[in-house]
Amino acid sequence: MSDDQPPEDSKLTRSKRAWAEAGKFLTGRHARPEEERLPPGQHLVRDWPVLDLGSQPDVTRERWKLRIDGLAARPITLDWAAFMALPQKSFVSDIHCVTTWSRYDNRWEGVATADLLALVEPRDEAAAVMLHGYDGYTTNLKLADFAAADALLAHSWEGKQIPREHGGPVRLVVPHLYFWKSAKWIARIELLGADRPGFWEVNGYHLRGDPWNEERYSG
């Protein structure tokens, strides 16, 4: 379903693996989101940086399809019209990227992940999801993290279509975890019986990625 395979041994992945080994940016502090809005080691930005593996697939709304399968009683493929016919939600949340920038108060519109899960009926054994992007990117989440109350598949940001470089037509947003978990150009949500590492997780990044516990790296 994806257009190409991500570069396993690019300059980017090599330098990120080195960051993970060195524990770059780690402060050793822990915090609680109720007490500190800005997680340890983060700084605020006003712009919105673009980060990806270097290819930004050109997926039009007409061509975009989302497959939800794996351990589900009712796997489905949604096209744009079917996706837009689902209940639309709007959430405001903060972004925390593992490269230390955070951005407050992003208004997203789209379909809540909890509503999507209700549609496909995860089997009792389902415990995690693997997200697949049209660029071949993958990232994993525990089912409960994916289903968080403010997590959604977003098509709009600040009232406008999410532009291609930020993952349009549809990207995931899971605000309580580092932003690498929020797959852009989402193509497939695969329900799994157990958590297994995606692209950055294989390359030294944490399996879960909680910013307040500084779960940057696996080591």
Task: Choose the stretch contacting Mo ion; rule: CB under 5 A; options: 30-38, 51-59, 78-86, 147-155.
Answer: 51-59
Which of 89, 96, 155, 166 lies at the binding interface for ligand MTE (CB under 6 A)?
166
| 137 touches ligand MTE (CB under 6 A) | yes
96 binds ligand MTE (CB under 6 A): no
Distance set, CA 210 to CA 79, 88, 181 (Å): 32, 27, 10
Question: Residue 135's closest CA among 52, 51, 57, 54?
Answer: 57
**What 3-state class would DSSP assign to 66?**
strand
Residue 80 binds which of ligand MTE, Mo ion, none (CB < 5-8 A, kind-dependent): none
Name the residue number minimizing CB distance to ligand MTE: 133
Does 184 participate in binding ligand MTE (rule CB under 6 A)?
Answer: yes
Max Cα-Cα span within the chain: 47
Residue 184 burial (10 A CB sphere; 0-12, 13-18, 19+): buried
Task: For residue 159, give the nearest of 85, 107, 89 by alpha carbon.
Answer: 107
Of 182, 188, 211, 217, the residue at the interface with ligand MTE (CB under 6 A) is 182
What's the min distance (Å) between Cβ of 125 and ligand MTE? 27
Whole-angstrom Cα Rg for the chain: 16
> Measured on CA atoms in the order 207, 177, 13, 5, is the torsion positive or negative?
positive
Nearer to Mo ion, 180 or 199 (CB): 180
Contact (CB, 8 A) for 183 and 133 = yes
Query: Counting contacts by CB under 6 A, is residue 18 touching ligand MTE?
Result: no
Of the candidates 108, 180, 212, 217, which one interacts with ligand MTE according to CB under 6 A?
180
From Mo ion, ligand MTE, none, interface partner of 202 (C-beta below 5 to 8 A by class): none
Is 180 a binding residue for Mo ion by CB under 5 A? The answer is yes
Of 205 and 212, nearer to ligand MTE (C-beta) is 205
**What is the closest distance, in whole angstroms, from the C-beta atom of residue 108 to ligand MTE in the complex?**
12
Q: Which residues of 51-64 are buried (b: 16+ CB within 10 A; e: fewer)?
A: ebbebbbebeeeeb
Per the omega criterion (within 30 degrees of 0), is the bond before 49 cis?
A: no
Stretch that binds ligand MTE, among 35-43, 63-71, 75-83, 176-184 (CB under 6 A): 176-184
Strand, helix or coil for residue 14: helix
Positions touching Mo ion (CB under 5 A) are 51, 180
Positions touching ligand MTE (CB under 6 A) are 48-53, 97, 133, 135, 137, 166-167, 179-180, 182-185
